[in-house]
Chains A and B, each alone.
Chain A
């Protein structure tokens, strides 16, 4: 699972029936220190996350499990909205 920030939305009218009614968001992956890392990507949202929110998302087949028993063709999905992150910066610097 990865951290990310919601930075945009995607609109689509014509889509596979499995994606109907699913929110599509653009997420920028983040480090635990909340710095951008890597390229933004499009994900389905199972939590109702809003723009600017810190979320965590899963990649792969598991992304569609968030919508079970529906079979949603998605390989990246937001599964939680993050309240707080605690990182022991000192320990990380020691590594």
Chain B
């Protein structure tokens, strides 16, 4: 699963009917320490995430297993809003 930060939203009027009513957000992957990583993704939001929140996204065909996304043409879905990531002492920080 991808740890990411919400950096924007996507508005689309013409879209697949099965995407209607789905909120689309632009997310940027981050490391567990919160540092930005390369690339951006557009993800369907199922948890009402807001701007700058750290979220957890699931990608691939597992994304369709999220509630509200069954049989919809999606491959990246935000499934959780992250409160905290705690790394064990002694683990290498990157």
Contact = CB atoms under 8 A, between A and B. Distances in A.
Interface in B63-79: 63, 65-69, 77, 79
Interface in B38-94: 46-48, 56, 58-63, 65-69, 77, 79-88, 91-92, 94
User: Which 7 residue pairs across A and B have the least CB separation, nearest first?
Assistant: A73-B66, A15-B80, A7-B91, A8-B87, A16-B79, A75-B62, A12-B80
Contacts, number: 113
B9 interface: no
Interface residues of B, number: 35
A24 B56 contact: yes
A88 B9 CA distance: 51
A13 B81 CA distance: 7
A40 B67 contact: no
B85 A10 contact: yes
